[in-house]
Amino acid sequence: NLKLDNLFKKKLIPRMTCTASKKLLRIMYKKKTNLCLAADLQNWTEVLEVARTLGPHICLLRTHIDTYNLENYYQVVEFRKHLKDLATKFDFMIMEDRKFADIGSTVQRQLTSKPFEIAQWADMVTVHGLPGPGVLQCFEGLENIAVVVIAEMSSTGNLGRKVSDYKHECLKITDGYDKIVAGFVSHSKIRVDRKDTFFLQFTPGVALNDYTGGDGLGQQYVYVDDAILDRGADVIIVGRGILKHGNENWREVAEEFQRNGWSALVQKLMN
């Protein structure tokens, strides 16, 4: 559809200053998906399996590399090599949800030190806004890695929702860092069309309409349409909504998230 093509290629993509978000938006448009898989599985081999199965349906794969039972540095290297190969093969990006929250000089070392060497393989990482702009400044010397600032978490009672202005302050610290910041994690609308910049909103805690309730540990879920149309998500982050099913059903469920997510995004952007 010509209107949608124009919207992505002439309006949205050129307005992004951050190389990673430009790339992500291109992938989303090409593959017709705004689904990010939260690859929360126990073993690194299972993470590779899910990446291989769902690669065609996702634009982004979100890792927690410290939870995959990687036993030594050589396994880490092997894991990230295979994951990168799959990302290239299926054309998706990788976001390590590390949630950095320290002073810049420490974050810089956390990004580069062994065994994980996050800066070498992640396209994006999450950071908390709590430390202030230093947490962004420390990315300036690093190439090929962008930042997603956590403005409002999905969990019950999270301070991003409770502390007035927290979300807005997270926005403010990104001023001057348009090249580094790909967007925000938020469970409610944080549309920040500052100057010429278009940031992406990533929203976790998303479920299909067959689901009600949380997970008993504070996670709160919203439906795909609510996440995108009411709460402003551009990219939906889904873990258990897919992974709680047996691996023979992963693809089918992911396709449903993909279809619903993409049609809601198109509806939102065309309005």
Residue 219 annotated as lining a ligand binding site: yes
CB of 206 to ligand 5IU, least distance (A): 7
Q: 108 or 126, CB closer to ligand 5IU?
A: 126
40 known member of a binding site? yes
Using DSSP's 3-state secondary structure scheme, residue 222 falls into strand
Q: Of the two residues 94 and 153, which places its CB atom closer to ligand 5IU in the complex? A: 153
User: 34 or 154, CB closer to ligand 5IU?
Assistant: 154
Task: Label the pairing between strands 124-128 and 93-100.
Answer: parallel
Which residues carry out catalysis? 97, 99, 102
Collapsing DSSP to helix, strand or coil, 254 comes out as helix
Residues that bind ligand 5IU (CB under 6 A): 38, 40, 97, 126, 150, 153-154, 185, 204-205, 219, 237-241
Given a contact cutoff of 8 angstroms between Cβ atoms, the answer to whether 83 and 121 are in contact is yes
State the nearest-atom distance from the C-beta of 38 to ligand 5IU, in Å. Answer: 4
Could you give the CA distance from residue 62 to residue 186 in angstroms, rounded to a whole number? 15
- In the complex with ligand 5IU, the residue whose CB is nearer, 12 or 188, is 188
Residue 21 C-beta: closest distance to ligand 5IU, Å: 17
147 and 141 Cβ atoms separated by less than 8 Å: no
239 is in an annotated binding site: yes
CB of 196 to ligand 5IU, least distance (A): 27
Q: Is 191 annotated as a binding residue?
A: no
Q: For residues 75 and 11, what is the distance between their CA atoms, to the nearest angstrom?
A: 42
* Residue nearest ligand 5IU (C-beta atom): 239
Q: Which residues are annotated as a binding site?
A: 40, 154, 219, 239-240
